[in-house]
Amino acid sequence: EVDEIRERPCIVATGPLTSEALSETLGRMLGADHLYFYDAIAPIVDADSIDHSRVFRASRYGKGGDDYLNCPMNREEYERFYNALIDADSVSAREFEDKRVFEGCMPIEVMARRGKDTPRFGPMKPVGIRDPGTGSEPFAVVQLRVENREETAYNIVGFQTRLKWPEQKRVFSLIPGLERAEFLRFGSIHRNTFINGPGFLNTDLTLKVDEGVYIAGQLSGVEGYIESTAMGLISGINVSRSIRKKGFAEVPVETAHGALLRYITGSSPEGFQPSNINFGLFPSTGIRTGDKRKRREEIVKRALNCWEDYLNRIGNG
């Protein structure tokens, strides 16, 4: 078993179930508060799929600007949502997952089963929010927080969940304004060792506290097999170039690899959670069209061209 990082350069790609001994080593390097062992991911929806006629911008008590989109619920809407939520089918915790940990990142459905009004005193509390349509405080409210610079994706605040994906689509589509929502990422909570990348990773995937150590795979803060492999590829390229004194070749942010790198190294460190690749991570193409399919085709076309340019660059270097 590898329990220390003795050689430089090296790549650490020990995955979501990194051993206790190596986790302790990483914890000493980063500080225990910046190496996480469980993720708590809330769903993300495409901004274009939100019914903006049913939501409004506001922050609680009018503080902090209009950072949130608010989906107000009356009593009838809340009860319909609540009943669907507590009856929905969820994923069971695995044997190696400590159920006690979920107290710190409680799934919204578990919270709901503790009492009918529990979500209304938690992430769905309406206190300090006034619905401009009625002029009064809603019975409950779901808040959406912008997820990226381009404001093309929104996070459902406080809705970390273990519901199965089809159930998330069914239940969360009962939220006013999200009836036709397209989910760019579904929520999850599971055992996962990962680094707070925005605070501790350079764009070449080296640790800021030790630039001889490269991080790859799920440990870097990405979600999914393909994404983990992609970060392994980038780490491998960067180590190879470093050994050969070739210098760092920046990965274009317009590519899927670059978009993920920007997310795990350039997001806010506060509340950072892993992500898979989704269209919400890509920078805008600047093309103005109501045709979502066309916009996404342009994103893919640009990504492939930029990736080819990157490969040519590193191939010639």
Q: What is the pTM of this model?
A: 0.72
Higher pLDDT, 187 or 91: 187
Q: For the chain, what percent of residues have pLDDT higher than 70? A: 92
Q: Is residue 236's pLDDT more than 90?
A: yes
* pLDDT at position 286 over 90: no
CA angle 180, 277, 182 (to 5 degrees): 0
Lowest mean pLDDT among 89-93, 266-270, 301-305: 89-93
The Cα 63–Cα 244 span in angstroms is 52
The tens digit of pLDDT for each residue in 6-20 reads 899 999 999 888 888
The Cα–Cα gap between 248 and 9 comes to 14
Predicted local distance difference test score (pLDDT) of residue 102: 46
Average pLDDT for 80-98: 79
Of 294 and 71, more confident: 71
Tens of pLDDT along 40-88?
789 999 999 999 999 999 887 767 667 799 999 999 999 999 999 999 9
Contacts for 245 with CB less than 8 Å, ≥ 6 apart: none
Confidence at residue 96, expressed as pLDDT on a 0 to 100 scale: 42
Coil vs helix vs strand at 164? coil
Structural domains in the chain plus CATH codes: 10-38+193-316 (3.50.50.60), 44-186 (2.40.30.260)
Question: Mean pLDDT lowest for which of 65-69, 90-94, 118-122?
Answer: 90-94
- Output the pLDDT for position 100: 44
CA 155 distance to own-chain centroid: 8
Q: Confirm if 220 and 197 have CB atoms less than 8 A apart.
A: yes
Whole-number pLDDT of residue 104: 53
- Strands (E) in 118-202, as ranges, are 140-146, 153-156, 183-185, 188-195
Q: What pLDDT score does 296 carry? A: 92
